[in-house]
Amino acid sequence: MSLLIAPSLLAADFANLEREITLINKSDADWFHIDVMDGVFVPNISFGMPVIKAIQKHATKPLDVHLMIVDPDRYVSTFASFGATILTVHYEACTHLNRSIDNIKSKGMKAGVALNPHTPVHLLEDCIKDLDLVCLMSVNPGFGGQKFIENTYEKIKALKALITAKNTTCHIEIDGGVTDVNASELVACGADVLVAGSYVFSAPDPHESIRKLRG
């Protein structure tokens, strides 16, 4: 699979959100990564439905929505109505993960599951065939601008091996602390979607940052 870049709007300038969205629309990036936090599953609150609706109005690229919320099933229909292309729930937030995945797909979206840094990849062996994307958190979720956790490389390799063993296909997305320094090794290990927040939006030239992530 060719490499996809998904800038995280969490690091955008919210006072100039339309400008930031237009920047990504015009860039070489592939998806918008949208981080939804509820202050319960993670110790932070990002933005809610009115803001996401406003993002959808201006975004011309697929919306990759990452739910860091408890009981995400409550909002699957809402995110479908916002035109989310991919809806990712956390393994740690779903008691009935199989049901959550079915629910997402039944609403016409692609289904993703995110794993916290401490959650081993092998826990996905009974649902990997049903997934369109696995998001490996390479920081503890909740905040942008954190330090990349090096153990992620081993997890990507384990996930790649699981996908191959189960004879299936699925995006491997890496989220947290991604920069031009680790991008090529992440891709070499098997990642094909790189999320980047601060590395893109805090850069003097976000377009150049996006290009550099492609190596």
Catalytic residue list: 35, 175
| Residue number with the smallest Cβ distance to ligand DX5 | 197
Which residue stretches of the chain are H helix?
Answer: 17-26, 49-58, 76-81, 97-106, 152-165, 183-189, 198-201, 206-213
Residue closer to ligand DX5, measured from CB, 72 or 142: 142
Q: Per DSSP, what are the bridge partners of residue 137?
A: 175
Q: What is the pattern of x (binds ligand DX5, CB under 6 A) and - over residues 91-110?
A: --------------------
Residue closer to ligand DX5, measured from CB, 10 or 128: 10
For Cα atoms 204, 207, 210, give the angle at the middle one, nearest 5 degrees.
110
Closest CA to 175 of 184, 186, 185: 186
The listed partner (ligand DX5, Zn ion, none) that binds 7, CB under 5 to 8 Å by sort, is none
Residue closer to Zn ion, measured from CB, 135 or 163: 135
Query: What type of residue sits at position 207?
Result: H
Q: What is the pattern of x (binds ligand DX5, CB under 6 A) and - over residues 143-172?
A: -xxx--------------------------
- CA torsion 15-21-23-28 (nearest 10°) is 150
What is the closest distance, in whole angstroms, from the C-beta atom of residue 35 to Zn ion in the complex? Answer: 4
The listed partner (ligand DX5, Zn ion, none) that binds 199, CB under 5 to 8 Å by sort, is ligand DX5
Q: Per DSSP, what are the bridge partners of residue 214?
A: none
Which residues in the 61-90 window bind ligand DX5 by CB under 6 A?
66
Q: What long-range pairs does 207-212 form, CB within 8 A, spacing at least 24?
A: 207/23, 207/27, 207/28, 209/180, 210/5, 210/7, 210/27, 210/28, 210/29, 211/28, 212/180, 212/183
- Residues contributing to the site for Zn ion (CB under 5 A): 35, 66, 175
Token pair, residue 75, equals: 């909002």
What is the closest distance, in whole angstroms, from the C-beta atom of residue 167 to Zn ion in the complex? Answer: 28
Residue closer to ligand DX5, measured from CB, 99 or 118: 118
For Cα atoms 141, 142, 148, give the angle at the middle one, nearest 5 degrees.
50
What is the closest distance, in whole angstroms, from the C-beta atom of residue 31 to ligand DX5 in the complex? Answer: 12
The listed partner (Zn ion, ligand DX5, none) that binds 178, CB under 5 to 8 Å by sort, is ligand DX5
Query: What type of residue sits at position 115?
Result: L
Tell me which residues touch ligand DX5 (CB under 6 A): 8, 10-11, 33, 35, 66, 139, 141-142, 144-146, 175-178, 195-199
